Amino acid sequence: MPPGTETGGTVVLYSTDDGFLPITCISARSMTEHCTGAPPPVTILTHGVSKTSIQSAREFMTRAGITVRFVEVDPSWCEPWASQRGQSAAKFGPLRMDEWLEKGVERVIVVDSDTRFVGDVNELVGTDMHGFAVAAVDDLAVVADGTLASFRDKLGLPADAGYFNSGLMVVDLARWVDDGIGPAATAIFTERPEILTFNDQCALNAVLAGRYRRLPFRWNHLNGSAPADWPACLIHYAGHFKPWSLGPLSRFADIAGFVGRQNIAYYETAMQDLRAAHLGTGQTIREVIHYLLVYVKWRITGKLRQALQRSQSGHLKTHISENPQLMN
């Protein structure tokens, strides 16, 4: 789709660098596997992605029936603080989404690349925003770990404020612009960086201070934090162990149980499709060794055991009993 075309209505927005472009393609393609009718058009903000990779991704998306537009973003806009925080500029692209989206866009479904749709994305198109600029899902990991109060204190949030995960957000673009949310969140990286634990996510929570429409947990099912039997429409592979990067770890029973054997199998097939489309090169020996060392460290320190127990957290059960509508 050429720049300047009127898309109207709703778009799905990703922001990626060269390393995550293949996984972004898989996330976008997963929309078509569960969508009633045509999915919304997709815009991908690219940061340091080669023209060859973009062309391969465009062909991959087109074959999947997705209307896609790529917008090249100069990654220097968020320097030096992005590099100082050890983060790719792609993480921060959505903070300036209103500058890079086409005219006529009213609603934006912002999605992290490390996600997979297992429900109908079109259900989000008509989301009642209840007058808010953003709709999102409470962060299950923060809830399950019992750290919600400490996040409120650190970010200066009201005592009753929620804390959302930014892996999926539905955005009323006009309200986002009118409220100055993007610039306000960006300013925190230079004015109050010490309050940020999870970068853009914490910045947005600090700005919105609990003023967001709370979506059901099924729209940001944090893999490894949400109980496996909970309903899901979007699986978010947040955290260190992602199903496409496990390598030999996928044969370890505890990791396979934590990540989910069905998720591992899905991405094994997806990675074959990516290689056939000249997207993605597989793991390097260095990456395999890195993940093996992390696994050993997590086993020794007990971090893996803690992660495996997170979905059974009493804090999580209490949160659900107090907010039963979030299970709808």
* Chain segment 163-201, per-residue pLDDT in tens: 999 999 999 999 999 999 999 999 999 999 999 999 999
Contacts 24+ apart (CB under 8 A), 143-146: 143/313, 143/315, 143/316, 143/319, 144/225, 144/310, 144/311, 144/313, 144/315, 144/316, 145/310, 145/313, 145/315, 146/313, 146/315
Q: Give residue 228's pLDDT band: very low, low, confident or very high (50, 70, 90).
A: confident
* Residue 43 lies inside a defined structural domain of this protein: yes
Q: From CA 93, how far away is CA 294, in angstroms rounded?
A: 29
* Residue 113 lies inside a defined structural domain of this protein: yes
Closest CA to 185 of 66, 68, 98, 290: 98
Whole domain around residue 74: which residue ranges? 7-328
Q: State residue 1's pLDDT score.
A: 36
* Residue 167 lies inside a defined structural domain of this protein: yes
Closest CA to 17 of 113, 81, 102, 115: 113
Alpha helices (H) along the chain: 21-32, 51-63, 81-84, 97-100, 122-125, 140-145, 148-155, 173-178, 181-191, 200-208, 253-259, 261-276, 285-301, 303-309, 314-322
Stated pTM of the model: 0.94
Residues 201-213 have pLDDT tens digits of 999 999 999 999 9
* Residue 147 lies inside a defined structural domain of this protein: yes
CATH classification of the domain holding 149: 3.90.550.10
Cβ contacts of residue 261 below 8 Å, gap of 6+?
A: none
Residue type at 225 in one-letter notation: S
Residues 40-81 have pLDDT tens digits of 999 999 999 999 999 999 999 999 999 999 999 999 999 999
* Residue 1 lies inside a defined structural domain of this protein: no
* Bridge partners for 170 per DSSP: 109, 135
Q: State residue 42's pLDDT score.
A: 98
Burial degree of 13 (CB within 10 A; 0-12, 13-18, 19+):
buried
**End-to-end C-alpha distance for the chain, whole angstroms:** 36
**Domains held by the chain: number:** 1
* Residue 2 lies inside a defined structural domain of this protein: no
